[in-house]
């Protein structure tokens, strides 16, 4: 007796890993429970989140963007919750489209819940190594308001940065001060982020060079967070007195994440650009009924 099969791929961007579900015509009902099952690292495929690949015209949240971007990135956190954006996810999403022969190297528009994001897939290197992917992440918003992050008996002031999703960025002397990050750090005031927040702990590594650890809402500590790296770059630039909108000059930082390295730049018009690797590591099929099994 044949069993219905669902195709999937597994990919990562600086070890922020994703299950990719090609669903070009928007026919798969991907419930929060199904997403959590896919992302389970012991009983499932295992990932920080799911990227469902849907034509914008086939998804109600993306139809208005269909004239600008053919493909919609339906991103879900590992607990099944919906997220507005995922910077590493956009790079991996672009790599999937390239691998599937749906796009080539060059420029690409991707629809997300945070709006259309522009990507550029670099040509492969001379050794055949896939070129990096650059994503235009939009402009950072810096909402007003005092925010404090607490871990154990330590507390720090945090910078509120929004990259299409919310971030609290704080500077520490040692990344170990973040603790295990199994649970979300305490953030006050309690109503500062009604939909939750990603929290980035940052240390300096050198001139325009920082490293971070991150707790992502709905996923816990991850090996990388693209929007988080962008938020960190903007917060660090402002701390260092750099503001391209005022200075008229772009600024670039190297941002090390536990899973690798990203290069983040901010242009005088406020646009933030992120460049980094995107890798597809596996593809296969799973029993479709497994997603809904009790």
Predicted local confidence at residue 252, as pLDDT: 98
| Annotated binding-site members | 16, 77, 87-88, 165, 198, 216-217, 226-227
Name the CATH code of domain 147-276 (choices 3.10.310.10, 3.30.565.10, 1.10.443.10, 3.40.50.300).
3.10.310.10
pLDDT in tens, 34-48: 999 999 999 999 999
Give CA separation, 194 vs 10, 167, 236, in Å.
32, 12, 25
225 a catalytic residue: yes
| Annotated binding-site members for substrate | 16, 77, 87-88, 165, 198, 216-217, 226-227
Between 164 and 209, the more confident residue is: 209
pLDDT in tens, 169-191: 999 999 999 999 988 999 999 89
Domain coordinates in residue numbering, the chain: 5-132+278-292, 147-276
- 275 forms beta bridges with 134, 263
Q: Which fold has domain 5-132+278-292?
A: Diaminopimelate Epimerase; Chain A, domain 1 (3.10.310)
- Split at pLDDT 50, 70, 90, the class of 1 is very low
Q: Which residue in 20, 54, 140, 225 is the catalytic one?
A: 225
- The two tokens of residue 82 are 């919906």
Picking from 197, 222, 200, 227, the residue whose alpha carbon sits closest to that of residue 211 is: 200
Q: Are 131 and 276 in contact (CB under 8 A)?
A: no
Percent of the chain exceeding pLDDT 90 equals 86
Whether the pTM exceeds 0.85: the reply is: yes
CA–CA dist 5, 177 (Å, integer): 45
Q: How many CB atoms lie within 10 A of CB 249?
A: 11
230 a catalytic residue: no
Q: Which residue in 21, 39, 86, 262 is the catalytic one?
A: 86
Average of pLDDT values for 18-22?
98
pLDDT in tens, 49-102: 999 999 999 999 999 999 999 999 999 999 999 988 888 999 999 999 999 999
pLDDT in tens, 268-278: 999 999 999 99
Q: How many CB atoms lie within 10 A of CB 157?
A: 11
Picking from 198, 185, 188, the residue whose alpha carbon sits closest to that of residue 157 is: 188
Contacts with 60 (C-beta within 8 Å, 6 or more apart), sequence order: none
């Amino acid at each position: 007796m044949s069993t219905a099969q669902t195709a999937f791929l597994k990919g990562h961007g600086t070890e922020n890993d994703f299950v990719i579900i090609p669903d070009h015509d928007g026919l798969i009902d991907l419930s929060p429970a199904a997403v959590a099952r896919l992302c389970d690292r012991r009983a499932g495929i295992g990932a920080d989140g799911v990227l469902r690949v849907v034509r914008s015209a086939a998804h109600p949240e993306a139809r208005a963007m269909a004239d600008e971007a053919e493909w919609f990135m339906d991103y879900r956190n590992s607990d099944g919750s919906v997220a507005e954006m995922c910077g590493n996810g956009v790079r991996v999403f672009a790599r999937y489209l390239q691998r599937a022969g749906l796009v080539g190297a060059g420029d690409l528009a991707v629809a997300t819940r945070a709006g259309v994001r522009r990507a550029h897939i670099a040509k492969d290197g001379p050794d055949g190594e896939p070129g990096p992917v650059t994503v235009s992440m939009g402009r950072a918003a810096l909402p007003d308001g005092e925010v404090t992050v607490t871990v154990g008996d330590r507390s720090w002031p945090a910078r509120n940065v929004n990259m299409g999703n919310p971030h609290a960025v704080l500077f520490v002397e040692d990344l170990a001060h973040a603790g295990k990050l199994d649970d979300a750090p305490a953030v006050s005031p309690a109503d500062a982020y009604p939909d939750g927040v990603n929290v980035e702990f940052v240390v300096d590594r050198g001139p325009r060079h920082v490293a971070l650890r991150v707790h992502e809402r709905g996923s816990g500590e991850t090996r990388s967070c693209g929007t988080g790296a962008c938020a960190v770059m903007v917060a660090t630039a402002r701390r260092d007195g750099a503001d391209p909108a005022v200075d008229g000059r772009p600024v670039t930082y190297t941002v090390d994440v536990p899973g690798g390295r990203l290069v983040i730049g901010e242009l005088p018009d406020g646009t933030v650009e992120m460049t980094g690797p995107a890798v597809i590591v596996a593809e296969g099929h799973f029993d479709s009924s497994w997603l809904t099994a009790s």
